[in-house]
Structure 1
Amino acid sequence: MPLSRPRPQGAVWARRFSSGRRRRREPAAEGSPPRDRGSMRCQVAVQYFARSTELAELCSETLSVPQQITSLQLWEEIVKIHPRLVVIWDQVVFAVPQEYVLLGDQLLVLQPGDKVAIVPPISGG
């Protein structure tokens, strides 16, 4: 099953939770990969919530990922490790330090120690 399904260009929903420092995000240039994607890697803490916890069979882990990566490429890196997560790919939103980010071509500039939360839809009342 292919992981990359067409997404709206530059689709992002961001919401500030606190006055924490803001990460720089830029859209990747049309038809080009993110700048220097593989050269710099950093350790980030990935936290799983709701259904993603069940599918990954853990609550959190530390991963080494490229420092500059699109949100969709980050998802694909995570799915390589936890293939069962593919069933929720079209419903997932990342929370990358204090901002919600949809999967797409948004360039994320991660710093060592950043926390990336995987937030699938949560129902409730």
Structure 2
Amino acid sequence: MNIEVSVLYFAKSADLAGVRSETISVPREIKSLQLWEELVTRHPRLAAILDQVVLAVRQEYITLGDQLLFLQPGDEVAVIPPISGG
């Protein structure tokens, strides 16, 4: 069963995706890497930050991989690119 979640893009990820936010339909249970791949399918330029990107679901960081996510309708998924500091 698919549900709708809000995706928020920050900094470079917003530039690459061309949007700051959107609502997408994904399975309620999805692995974190599958969620990332769904976003890259929608916005192929995001692939450029794969090695540095961090996702957050309900304001908790998640690792890209086999971690199984249990999403709820209306959850927020944040795409946080590498942040350069100094």
The 5 Å alignment of 1:33-52 reads 40-52=1-13
Q: Which amino acid aligns with 1:88?
A: I
DSSP-derived class of the 2:34 partner: helix
Where does structure 1 differ by over 4 angstroms across 4 or more consecutive aligned residues? none
Over the aligned positions, Cα root-mean-square deviation in angstroms equals: 0.7
Counterpart for residue 85 of structure 1: 46
Higher helix share: 2
Q: Distance in 1 between matches of 2:59 and 2:66?
A: 19
Q: Distance in 2 between matches of 1:75 and 1:101?
A: 11
Matched, 1:70 2:49: no
Which of the numbers 15, 18, 22 marks the counterpart of 1:61?
22
Higher strand share: 2
Q: Deviation at 1:124? A: 2.3
Q: Which segments of 5 or more consecutive residues in structure 1 lack a partner in the other structure?
A: 1-39
Give the TM-score normalised by the residue count of structure 1.
0.67
Counterpart for residue 22 of structure 1: none
Q: Which segments of 5 or more consecutive residues in structure 2 lack a partner in the other structure?
A: none
Give the TM-score normalised by the residue count of structure 2.
0.96
Q: Deviation at 1:70? A: 0.4
Q: Deviations over 1:39-81 (max 9, x none)?
A: x110000000111000001100000001100000000011111
Greater gyration radius: 1
Counterpart for residue 14 of structure 1: none
